[in-house]
Amino acid sequence: MAAIRALLLMAALVSPALAQTSFTDGAALATRAVDAAKELRTHLAELAKAGARPDFSKPPASELFGRIYDMNALAALPPPAPNEISWLLNWSAAGGGIVKAILTFGITPPAGPSDQAAIERNLVDYEDQQAVASSFLIRITAREMQVLSLFMAQLPEDQRTPIRQEGFDRARAGATKVLSGALITLASDLKTANARMLSAAIRDTGDVWVQNLFAKDRPEIMREIGTAQKEVKDGETKKNLAAFGAALAAAK
């Protein structure tokens, strides 16, 4: 994350005047998501203190969750632009934080081995929410990689410094972890609808992953694709994974 923040700072220094409709719309959506995440964290803390559990089928949890993981709004944005990284990072950070908050609900930090039963209960009780969140994070992380690639490509040759390249490489490695986590999740016997949604997010963003995965990471990702294909029972999910696997294999 520090490396990506460094790239963000450099982007601001290189092109401070960039301002496009996509940035304005995206920034507003990101602000809404960050604010909703703060409210949801407060709501979760109040429930935990009262000995209750969240109900994402009704307000306020349902509305706040929807503002954070608004995949329709994300999909409706104009094509990626090199000045977007600031609000993208804020939006994805808000989403990632709530994933952890739901997973560890009812646990006093830091979570330890004795909390495994509580984590497993949360995984079961809130599978639907975790699947939506994982699908969203796959899509927004793919957009982040597109934006970072555009930013690096627009730099004059003399500004493509080693530290910028290092930051970009770290961002690529972090994105690979997001993809890997999604593939591991797919191998964990999800409900059919959730497996289809998550595998579709991977399939739809496949071109971005093919372009940004390091050669050294491809074998492990291919192995995880194979494991997920063996574990899932749904034909549509298998096809989604097969399409991504074929694209990745062909790019070698």
- Express each pLDDT in 88-100 by its tens digit: 999 999 999 999 9
Decide: 26 and 88 in contact? Cβ < 8 Å. Answer: yes
69 pLDDT exceeds 60?
A: yes
Of 57, 70, 62, 75, the closest CA to residue 31 belongs to: 70
- Tokens matching residue 102: 């739901």
- C-alpha triplet 217, 220, 223: angle, nearest 5°: 150
Q: What is the pLDDT of residue 12?
A: 41
- What pLDDT, on a 0 to 100 scale, did the predictor assign at position 110? 86
Show the CA angle centred on residue 91, arms to residues 23 and 146, nearest 5°. 60
* 71-95 mean pLDDT: 95
Q: How far is CA 128 from CA 21, 41, 48, 196, in A?
A: 33, 18, 20, 12
**Does the structure show a pLDDT above 60 at 11?**
no
Q: How many residues does the chain have?
A: 252
pLDDT, residue 38, reads 98
Given a contact cutoff of 8 angstroms between Cβ atoms, the answer to whether 40 and 84 are in contact is: no
Residue type, 94: A
Residue 21 pLDDT greater than 70, yes or no? no
Interval 31-35 mean pLDDT: 98
* Backbone dihedral region for residue 51 (phi beyond 0: left; psi -120 to 50: alpha; all else: beta): left
Does the structure show a pLDDT above 80 at 23?
A: no
Q: Measure the CA–CA gap between 111 and 192, rounded to whole angstroms.
A: 30
- Which pLDDT tens digit goes with each residue over 211-228? 999 999 999 999 999 999
Kindly state the average pLDDT of the residues 10-26: 47
What mean pLDDT is predicted for residues 66-72?
A: 97
pLDDT given for residue 109 in this prediction: 85
| pLDDT higher at 183 or 10 | 183
Q: What percentage of residues in the chain have a pLDDT greater than 70?
A: 90
What is the reported pTM? Answer: 0.90
Predicted confidence at residue 24, as pLDDT, reads 56
pLDDT, residue 252, reads: 67
pLDDT at 113: 87
pLDDT at 115: 92
Residue 8 has pLDDT above 50, yes or no: no
Residues 6+ apart with CB under 8 A from 153: 82
pLDDT band at 35 (very low <50, low <70, confident <90, very high): very high
Q: Is the pLDDT of residue 18 over 60?
A: no
Tens digit of each residue's pLDDT (9 = 90 or more) over 110-145: 888 899 999 999 999 999 999 999 999 999 999 999
pLDDT at 16: 36
* Residues whose CB falls within 8 Å of the CB of residue 68, separated by 6 or more in sequence, listed in order: 33, 36, 37, 40, 94, 95, 98, 133
Of the candidates 155, 150, 125, the residue with the CA atom closest to the CA atom of residue 52: 125
Task: Give the residue-averaged pLDDT of 158-164.
Answer: 91
